[in-house]
């Protein structure tokens, strides 16, 4: 069966995890590439991914479903874009070989990278892009590969709006082990009741968030994951106090839908749904008033649900004085 799509590459979505793992240690697991520590190439891969998203209208992609996987041809008539396609796919090929997964909060992508060693991927450069073939001898992994191809089609159709969504594993596949006991759809965790260093009741954390992102901010994701870790250990949201202070490049996270749309050509602010879920769980989300001014925003452009603090510095000092541990999210 031959399906044609115009825009994106078969593996574009794999890099959309700015939200999550920039400089962060990878989950432990079997095989080469797991548990190696900081992912030094993530930022570079992310930049290429963003470039391709911004130029998706100049990309053509043909997807052919095979009995054992998929075959894609991704090309552009513009040499610069064609070169970026080749660079991106080669980087993703390396990640698949090493098991360097991304988007671990997304059920489908977390599941497909669990089986990276069962995926055979070949990349052939063309004059205008690449021809990619992904196959597996495992029938379950074939379903994951094809489900991934379908999700990529949704992603390239909707751009960044689709990027912050969770995607379920195919219904007839084994149940994925990520759970969301407190914050739904964001910050999924693996329950490990016998592991050491379980969450402690009464913990107080201030997340110092300056990270930039065109999707859901990784500082918000980190807070969601921490809450879900508490839930997986049988604790409640009320058993931990969390403050998030947004400043620096993360200031835009606090913009209203209208302001975000006007400034970044997006349908809405992808961060607000998660902010509201966090607030329901008792998380305090603040934005630095100094950064709002420095970044050229108006107070009226900040979402009504996000209070403006005098400064990030005063928030961090005040919370630490009150016994909060400070966790920077650069």
CATH number at residue 239: 3.40.1260.10
Closest CA to 84 of 122, 121, 116, 56: 56
pLDDT in tens, 154-202: 777 776 666 667 888 887 655 556 899 999 989 999 899 999 999 999 9
Q: Average pLDDT of the chain?
A: 84
State mean pLDDT over 75-93: 89
**Both 303 and 235 in a single domain?**
yes
- Range name among 6-15, 50-59, 136-145, 167-176 with the lowest pLDDT average: 6-15
Query: 59 pLDDT band (50/70/90 cuts)?
Result: confident
Which one of 135, 163, 191 terminates a domain? 163
The DSSP H or E segment spanning 317 is helix 312-321
- Structural domain containing residue 242: 203-329
**Both 155 and 19 in a single domain?**
yes
Closest CA to 217 of 156, 265, 176, 260: 260
- Range name among 40-44, 223-227, 302-306 with the lowest pLDDT average: 40-44
**Both 214 and 128 in a single domain?**
no
Which one of 163, 183, 216 terminates a domain? 163
**Both 126 and 248 in a single domain?**
no
Question: Helix axis angle, 218-232 relative to 272-280, nearest 10°?
Answer: 30
State mean pLDDT over 193-216: 94
Query: 10 pLDDT band (50/70/90 cuts)?
Result: very low
**Both 19 and 149 in a single domain?**
yes
Write down the residue that tokens 């100049």 correspond to.
Answer: 58
Examine the pLDDT at 221 and tell me if it is beyond 50.
yes
Contact criterion met (CB below 8 Å) for 59 and 15: no
Q: Three-state secondary structure along 47-87?
A: HHHHHHHHCHHHCEEEEEEECCEEEEEEECCCHHHHHHHHH
The answer to whether residue 194 sits within a structural domain is no
What pLDDT, on a 0 to 100 scale, did the predictor assign at position 150?
A: 81
What is the rounded distance in angstroms from the CA atom of residue 163 to the CA atom of residue 218?
13
**Both 128 and 9 in a single domain?**
yes
Query: 214 pLDDT band (50/70/90 cuts)?
Result: confident
State mean pLDDT over 107-115: 86
The answer to whether residue 105 sits within a structural domain is yes
Q: Which two tokens stand for residue 87?
A: 């660079």
The answer to whether residue 187 sits within a structural domain is no
Q: How many residues would you count in the chain? A: 330
pLDDT in tens, 248-298: 999 999 999 999 999 998 889 999 999 999 999 999 999 999 999 999 999
**SS3 for 234?**
coil
The answer to whether residue 75 sits within a structural domain is yes
What pLDDT, on a 0 to 100 scale, did the predictor assign at position 49?
A: 80
**Both 40 and 137 in a single domain?**
yes
**Both 134 and 69 in a single domain?**
yes
Strands 308-309 and 284-288, by their bridges, are parallel
Q: Which residue(s) pair with 73 in the sheet?
A: 62, 131
What pLDDT, on a 0 to 100 scale, did the predictor assign at position 205?
A: 98
What is the rounded distance in angstroms from the CA atom of residue 309 to the CA atom of residue 318?
12
**Both 159 and 209 in a single domain?**
no
Query: 19 pLDDT band (50/70/90 cuts)?
Result: very low
Query: 27 pLDDT band (50/70/90 cuts)?
Result: very low
The DSSP H or E segment spanning 94 is helix 79-98
- Residue ranges in 131-271 assigned as alpha helix (H): 139-158, 160-163, 218-232, 257-264
Examine the pLDDT at 100 and tell me if it is beyond 70.
yes
**Both 69 and 142 in a single domain?**
yes
- Range name among 83-87, 98-102, 260-264 with the lowest pLDDT average: 98-102
Q: Which residue(s) pair with 133 in the sheet?
A: 71, 122
The answer to whether residue 121 sits within a structural domain is yes
**SS3 for 138?**
coil
**Both 104 and 248 in a single domain?**
no
The answer to whether residue 197 sits within a structural domain is no
**SS3 for 189?**
strand
Which one of 142, 163, 184 terminates a domain? 163
134 phi and psi, to 5 degrees?
Answer: -120, 120
What is the rounded distance in angstroms from the CA atom of residue 209 to the CA atom of residue 218?
9
Contact criterion met (CB below 8 Å) for 246 and 206: no
State mean pLDDT over 147-159: 75
Q: Which residues contact 197 (CB under 8 A, 6 or more apart)?
A: none
What pLDDT, on a 0 to 100 scale, did the predictor assign at position 21?
A: 38
What pLDDT, on a 0 to 100 scale, did the predictor assign at position 175?
A: 53
The answer to whether residue 44 sits within a structural domain is yes
What is the rounded distance in angstroms from the CA atom of residue 19 to the CA atom of residue 21?
7
What pLDDT, on a 0 to 100 scale, did the predictor assign at position 219?
A: 95
Question: Helix axis angle, 139-158 relative to 107-114, nearest 10°?
Answer: 140
State mean pLDDT over 200-222: 94
Contact criterion met (CB below 8 Å) for 182 and 219: no
* Structural domains of the chain, count: 2
The answer to whether residue 198 sits within a structural domain is no
What is the rounded distance in angstroms from the CA atom of residue 280 to the CA atom of residue 91?
39
**Both 9 and 149 in a single domain?**
yes
């Amino acid at each position: 069966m031959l399906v044609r799509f115009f825009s994106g590459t078969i593996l574009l979505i794999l890099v959309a995890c700015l939200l999550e793992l920039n400089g962060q240690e990878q989950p432990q697991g079997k095989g080469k590439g797991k548990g190696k520590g900081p992912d030094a190439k993530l930022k570079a891969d992310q930049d290429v991914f963003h470039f391709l998203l911004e130029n998706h209208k100049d990309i053509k992609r043909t997807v052919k479903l095979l009995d054992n996987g998929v075959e894609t041809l991704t090309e552009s008539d513009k040499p610069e874009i064609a070169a970026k396609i080749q660079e991106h796919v080669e980087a993703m090929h390396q990640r698949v070989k090493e098991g360097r997964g991304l988007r671990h909060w997304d059920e489908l992508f977390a599941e497909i990278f669990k089986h990276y060693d069962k995926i055979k991927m070949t990349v052939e450069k063309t004059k205008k892009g690449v021809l990619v073939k992904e196959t597996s001898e495992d029938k379950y992994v074939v379903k994951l590969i094809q489900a991934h191809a379908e999700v990529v089609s949704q992603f390239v159709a909707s751009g960044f709006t689709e990027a912050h969504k969770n995607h379920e594993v195919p219904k007839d596949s084994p149940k994925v082990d990520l759970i969301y006991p407190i914050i739904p759809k964001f910050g999924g965790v693996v329950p490990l009741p016998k592991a050491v260093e379980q969450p402690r009741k009464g913990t107080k954390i201030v997340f110092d968030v300056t990270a930039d992102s065109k999707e859901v901010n990784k500082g918000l994701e980190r807070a969601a994951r921490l809450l879900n870790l508490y839930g997986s250990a049988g604790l409640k949201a009320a058993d931990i106090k969390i403050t998030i202070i947004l400043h620096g490049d993360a200031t835009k996270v606090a913009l209203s839908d209208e302001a975000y749309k006007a400034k970044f050509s997006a349908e809405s602010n992808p961060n607000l749904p998660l902010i509201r879920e966090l607030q329901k769980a008792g998380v305090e989300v603040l934005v630095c008033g100094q950064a709002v001014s420095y970044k050229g925003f108006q107070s009226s452009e900040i979402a009504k649900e996000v209070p403006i603090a005098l400064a990030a510095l005063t928030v961090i000092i005040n919370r630490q004085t009150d016994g909060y541990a400070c966790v920077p999210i650069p």
